[in-house]
A and B are shown apart, each in its own frame.
Chain A
Amino acid sequence: MALVFLVPLLTTVYFSVGGMELTAEYFLKIFQGKLYQAVLWTTVEISVVSALLTLVVGYPIAYHLSKQPPRRRLFLSMLLLLPFYTSILVKSFAFTVVLGHSGVINDGLRALFGEGAVVQLLYNRLGVYIGLVHNLLPYMVFPILTNLLSQDPNLPRAAELMGASRSRIFWKVTFPLSLPGVAAGVLLATVLSLGQYITPALLGGRQDMMMANLVHFQIAQALDWNMASAISVVLLSLAGLIILLLSRVKGVQLFEAKTVS
């Protein structure tokens, strides 16, 4: 296992310093180039925001699923996994039909309020977020769902007996206890969206370029594998940093959660 993972990883690092040349040239290009800086920032922004949006959409879904009888939950979970089995090109075509300039939503708005009401939902940052949330949802829902299902059902019952309202039970008991699941979901979603390439390219605007897009250009068109490796190493370090930060946060929350319960 270690061999399968480590050898390609070390090869990438080896390429990123120009092999035996041990040069920082490629990294300097990344940190000094306007293009790379702009794209790096876009990548971080898109990853963090789309992970948080996925949390906002995904948590209620996970909560709802946790309240369902097992058979129904299984059925609904399978629906949730459907996007996994669809090609992104087909999905982007479907998105255009629903959200596009002449899509269902905009045709409806046009019929009701005239041409001025048309909203641009695709081929801009919003389109990227819609596409990514759609993609990342299962990664957010399942860790939270697992956590919610493993919570001791006696805790909310006890809170209820003590006279707590339903919203108070949720915010004081259920939600704090689910924070490890939330952290896991956010972590997965952020790290996965860091490497996104095709969804932003198909649904985003001209400014929504991701680092992976540049990696692809260097590998497949420019054939500059050293540069591609250097970008990958930066991207990987970024993912590592986010994991590190989140694992800290998670620890704190765990501690607080215990105090509450």
Chain B
Amino acid sequence: MSIDNRFGGVPLLGRGLNRRSVLIGATGALAAPFVLRPRGARAADSIVVVDDGGVVQEAKREVFFKPFTADTGVEVIEVSNNSGHLERLKAQVVTGNIEWDAVYLNGQGANAAAKEGLVEEIDYTQIDVAKSLHPEWVLPGGLCYAFFTGGIAFNPAKHPAGKHPTTYQEFWDVEKFPGRRGMLQRAIYALEMALAADGVPANEIYPINFDRAFASLDRIKPHINVWMSQNEQAINMLQTGEVDFDFTFISRVIPAQEAGVSIDIVDDNSTISGPSYIVIPKGTAKKDLVMKFLTYVNRPDLQAELCNRIGFTPENGEAYSLVKPEMLAKLPKPGHPNAIALDMAWWGENLTEAEGRFKEWILT
């Protein structure tokens, strides 16, 4: 991932400096900005879609973009931007210089964007979300099309069944399951893990009791050898033997397994799932086309196909019967009583406070 792009949110830096923005800059002094919308320079029947790049975007190109273009003739202009969607989205909306028409965001990002008023409302008369697995994730400002599930990952060659923790209570039990441990260095997921480890049932995690969560985290703190700041580190840590058990996502474990890495992730009893959204930047002139695009993103057959390719778990319940059995076996079973689903409404309200407390906690 390119870290250098991280701060390039302003139009004069990073990718913002292109033919269009130069054109706008040169003529902006002469004409009112709304006359010179960047889209004026673009073909009328195209939309700009922003995603993370890499295998994920390649899969979406085949699964969503190509059928959409083939049916409608609307070209999908892809932007790969592996970090910093949210701040660039804000910069575009705040400056009124909208270059993007649809943006893939995680749950925290989509909720923050909606809260700040950076996104258009999804027209749910065009999109049927009645079969959504998590009705609480249906957001006025973003379409949830898939979700990610995290859990405890380990190396089965080193830690066969019975030698690795399968629940967060066992992850916290360093005597019964000796081994080096890694966790993500962020409040989201860590607080849920801590409460589950302390015996809170999956359906009673929210609203998060900070005191209880941090007291539980205090117990595991001396035994965490690596606090990972990037998701990308988790697989490498297990691969190089830096840690024995860490928290990562099924969608990262599957490609690693396919690449021949000895890695596995425990199922069902230790899963934490979070939504993945697609949002429409506020002020885009292409909302109608994007809505049409979203009907493709919501199609069960296409969601199943995306899952078959890269293991993104479909949010549309109708997609499940179309997923390959061998892939289905690797995915969490919907509705399992121990499965934790991130409460995005709670996180939307409490992210800043939780993150601040978590950062203070981790420094001491």
A interface residues (Cβ-Cβ under 8 A, vs B): 4, 8, 34-35, 38-39, 87-89, 92-93, 96-97, 100-103, 122-123, 197-198, 201-202, 205-207, 209, 214, 216-217, 219-225
Chain A residues lying within 8 Å of B236, measured Cβ to Cβ, are 93, 96
Residues B10 and A8 in contact, CB atoms below 8 Å apart = yes
Residues B355 and A222 in contact, CB atoms below 8 Å apart = yes
What are 16 pairs between A and B in contact, CB < 8 Å?
A8-B10, A35-B356, A38-B363, A100-B241, A122-B242, A123-B225, A123-B227, A197-B3, A198-B6, A202-B230, A206-B224, A216-B7, A217-B355, A221-B108, A223-B90, A225-B90
Q: Residue on A with the closest CB to B112?
A: A223
Residues A201 and B86 in contact, CB atoms below 8 Å apart = no
Q: Give the residues from 1 to 59 in chain B that come closer than 8 angstroms, CB to CB, to chain A.
A: 1-3, 6-7, 9-10, 12
Chain A residues lying within 8 Å of B225, measured Cβ to Cβ, are 101, 123
In the complex, what distance in Å separates the CA atom of A122 from the CA atom of B226?
9
Taking the complex as formed, is B126 at the interface, i.e. its CB lies under 8 A from any CB of chain A?
no
Number of interface residues of B (CB under 8 A): 41
Chain A residues lying within 8 Å of B84, measured Cβ to Cβ, are 220
Residues A123 and B90 in contact, CB atoms below 8 Å apart = no
A96: contacting residue among B9, B232, B237, CB under 8 A: B237
Taking the complex as formed, is B338 at the interface, i.e. its CB lies under 8 A from any CB of chain A?
no
Q: Residue on B with the closest CB to A228?
A: B87
B87: contacting residue among A39, A103, A207, A223, CB under 8 A: A223
Chain B residues lying within 8 Å of A39, measured Cβ to Cβ, are 363
In the complex, what distance in Å separates the CA atom of A198 from the CA atom of B351?
22
Chain A residues lying within 8 Å of B2, measured Cβ to Cβ, are 87
Chain A residues lying within 8 Å of B1, measured Cβ to Cβ, are 87, 89
Taking the complex as formed, is B229 at the interface, i.e. its CB lies under 8 A from any CB of chain A?
yes
Chain A residues lying within 8 Å of B233, measured Cβ to Cβ, are 92, 202
Residues A223 and B116 in contact, CB atoms below 8 Å apart = yes
Taking the complex as formed, is B185 at the interface, i.e. its CB lies under 8 A from any CB of chain A?
yes
A103: contacting residue among B86, B237, B240, CB under 8 A: B240
Given contacts A123-B225, A206-B227, contact A220 B6 (CB under 8 A): yes
Among A38, A97, A206, which residue has the most Cβ atoms of chain B within 10 A? A206
Given contacts A219-B9, A220-B84, contact A102 B3 (CB under 8 A): no
B interface residues (Cβ-Cβ under 8 A, vs A): 1-3, 6-7, 9-10, 12, 83-84, 86-87, 90, 108, 112, 116, 180, 185, 224-227, 229-230, 232-233, 236-237, 240-243, 351-352, 355-356, 359-360, 362-364
A209: contacting residue among B6, B241, B352, B359, CB under 8 A: B359
Residues A8 and B3 in contact, CB atoms below 8 Å apart = no
Given contacts A89-B230, A89-B232, A101-B242, contact A223 B363 (CB under 8 A): no
Residues B362 and A207 in contact, CB atoms below 8 Å apart = yes
Chain B residues lying within 8 Å of A198, measured Cβ to Cβ, are 3, 6, 229
In the complex, what distance in Å separates the CA atom of A214 from the CA atom of B226?
20
Chain B residues lying within 8 Å of A207, measured Cβ to Cβ, are 362-363
Q: How far is the CB of B238 from chain A (nearest CB, A)?
A: 11
Q: Residue on A with the closest CB to B6?
A: A216
Residues A221 and B86 in contact, CB atoms below 8 Å apart = yes
Q: How far is the CB of B145 from chain A (nearest CB, A)?
A: 22
Q: How far is the CB of B157 from chain A (nearest CB, A)?
A: 13
Q: How far is the CB of B199 from chain A (nearest CB, A)?
A: 25
Chain B residues lying within 8 Å of A221, measured Cβ to Cβ, are 86, 108, 112, 351, 355
Residues B240 and A100 in contact, CB atoms below 8 Å apart = yes
Q: Add 19 more A-B contacts to A100-B242, A198-B6 (CB < 8 A).
A: A8-B12, A38-B360, A38-B363, A39-B363, A89-B1, A93-B240, A102-B240, A102-B242, A123-B225, A123-B226, A123-B227, A202-B230, A206-B224, A206-B227, A207-B363, A209-B363, A222-B352, A223-B87, A223-B90
Chain B residues lying within 8 Å of A38, measured Cβ to Cβ, are 360, 363-364
B3: contacting residue among A88, A96, A205, A214, CB under 8 A: A88
In the complex, what distance in Å separates the CA atom of A101 from the CA atom of B226?
11
Chain B residues lying within 8 Å of A225, measured Cβ to Cβ, are 90
Chain A residues lying within 8 Å of B83, measured Cβ to Cβ, are 220
Chain B residues lying within 8 Å of A97, measured Cβ to Cβ, are 240
Chain B residues lying within 8 Å of A88, measured Cβ to Cβ, are 3
Chain B residues lying within 8 Å of A202, measured Cβ to Cβ, are 229-230, 233
In the complex, what distance in Å separates the CA atom of A123 from the CA atom of B229?
11
Q: Residue on A with the closest CB to B229?
A: A201
In the complex, what distance in Å separates the CA atom of A223 from the CA atom of B118?
11
Q: How far is the CB of A95 from chain B (nearest CB, A)?
A: 10
In the complex, what distance in Å separates the CA atom of A96 from the CA atom of B243?
11
